[in-house]
């Protein structure tokens, strides 16, 4: 799994690609934690390039949400593919991690 990150004026967008599974989940947690530690407390994880997510990936997203909120920020998810959306809905995590259509709209309401 690869990651790109873009720092915008109001938030950071982290875009993983590939499979967000037990192999890749620790790296996502670390990438988010690094950005939060640098003072970028508002994070969007753009999941448009993720074609598969498992329970480890979900755990990484929830842990990253806690990291951002502990620093006074927030984490939002965007651009979900069909499999990712289905897993979030089946687990009920779509109520904790509200999905947005795209990264640009994730913090638009603030």
- Treating both helix axes as pointing N-terminal to C-terminal, what angle do 55-70 and 82-91 enclose, rounded to 10 degrees? 80
pLDDT recorded at residue 9: 80
pLDDT tens for the chain, 110 residues long, are 788 888 878 899 999 999 999 999 999 999 999 999 999 999 999 999 999 999 999 999 999 999 999 999 999 999 999 999 999 999 999 999 989 999 999 988 76
Q: Report all structural domains of the chain as residue ranges with CATH numbers, in order of start.
A: 2-102 (3.30.750.24)
Q: What CA–CA distance (Å, rounded) separates 8 from 5? A: 10
pLDDT recorded at residue 110: 61
pLDDT recorded at residue 108: 83
Enter the pTM of the model.
0.93
């Amino acid at each position: 799994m690869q990651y790109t990150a873009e720092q915008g004026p109001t938030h950071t967008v982290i875009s993983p690609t590939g499979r967000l599974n037990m192999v890749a989940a620790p790296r996502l947690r670390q990438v988010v934690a690094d950005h939060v530690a640098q003072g970028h407390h508002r994070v969007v994880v753009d999941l448009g390039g993720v074609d598969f997510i498992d329970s480890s990936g979900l755990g990484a997203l929830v842990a990253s949400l806690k990291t951002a909120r502990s620093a006074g920020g927030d984490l939002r998810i965007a651009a979900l593919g069909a499999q990712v959306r289905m897993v979030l809905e089946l687990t009920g995590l779509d109520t904790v991690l509200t999905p947005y259509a795209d990264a640009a709209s994730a913090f638009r309401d603030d």
